[in-house]
């Protein structure tokens, strides 16, 4: 009996040591898990902060680019105004390509244009300047120039005439800068 009691006591002691070892291993693992979670959390916070700084930097760069682009646009408009003032009668002030819809046409057509004096001449292309497709008289006939939201085309604008019987012209340019230059040119030619 004594022998059996010793064995039972030894077995209980072994089980207790095993339980303590498992508990210690569990405690160590939980501590490692907490440390890993804290490390991951810190890394995530660093990543969020890095992304936030990159986004702020991108915003600064974009704002700077917009500011520079606006300065360039302003300078181009001023240059165009000066150039217009220094033009002799009959000289071409501005040329380029524009897509137009107006007059009696409902179709959009890509045209080469020349802004000269107080008129905007539209040609089929820049090689054939002998035949004008359309000529818009700008002298005292333009009511307003407005962005045309109803068309929903980027870089578009509308040329409204004082005479309500005359259909407005719609234009769109390839770039915002081209649109700005053409509008400024038309405004100067029409003396708006």
Burial of 139: CB neighbours in 10 Å, binned 0-12, 13-18, 19+: exposed
Q: Which residues contact 46 (CB under 8 A, 6 or more apart)?
A: none
What pLDDT sits at residue 48? 94
Asked if residue 78 has pLDDT above 70, the reply is yes
Angle, vertex CA 150, rays to CA 149 and CA 155, nearest 5? 45
SS3 (DSSP) at 160: strand
Asked if residue 176 has pLDDT above 90, the reply is no
Q: Which residues contact 100 (CB under 8 A, 6 or more apart)?
A: 108, 109, 111, 113, 122, 134, 169, 170, 171
The answer to whether the CB of 164 falls within 8 A of the CB of 144 is no
Rounded mean pLDDT of 34-57?
A: 93
Burial of 73: CB neighbours in 10 Å, binned 0-12, 13-18, 19+: middle
Asked if residue 92 has pLDDT above 90, the reply is no
**What's the gap between Cα 129 and its chain centre?**
36
Q: What is the pLDDT of residues 97-156, one digit of tens each?
A: 999 988 677 889 999 999 988 889 999 988 888 888 888 888 878 888 887 666 688 888
Percent residues over pLDDT 90 in the chain: 31
What pLDDT sits at residue 88? 63
Rounded mean pLDDT of 21-41?
A: 92
Indicate the range of 26-30, 131-135, 164-168 predicted with least confidence: 164-168
């Amino acid at each position: 009996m004594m022998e059996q009691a010793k064995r039972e006591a030894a077995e209980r002691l072994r089980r207790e040591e095993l339980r303590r070892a498992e508990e210690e291993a569990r405690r160590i693992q939980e501590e490692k898990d907490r440390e890993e979670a804290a490390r991951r959390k810190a890394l995530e916070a660093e990543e969020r902060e890095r992304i936030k700084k990159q986004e702020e930097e991108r915003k600064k760069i974009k704002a700077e680019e917009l500011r520079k682009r606006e300065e360039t646009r302003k300078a181009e408009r001023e240059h165009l105004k000066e150039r217009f003032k220094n033009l002799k009668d009959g000289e071409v002030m501005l040329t380029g390509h524009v897509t137009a819809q107006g007059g009696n046409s409902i179709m959009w057509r890509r045209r080469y244009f020349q802004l000269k004096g107080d008129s905007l001449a539209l040609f089929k292309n820049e090689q054939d300047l002998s035949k004008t497709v359309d000529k818009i008289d700008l002298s005292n006939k333009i009511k307003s120039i407005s962005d045309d939201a109803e068309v929903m085309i980027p870089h578009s604008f509308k040329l409204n005439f004082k005479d309500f019987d005359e259909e407005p012209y719609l234009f769109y340019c390839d770039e915002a800068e081209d649109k700005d230059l053409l509008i400024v040119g038309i405004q100067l030619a029409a003396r708006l």
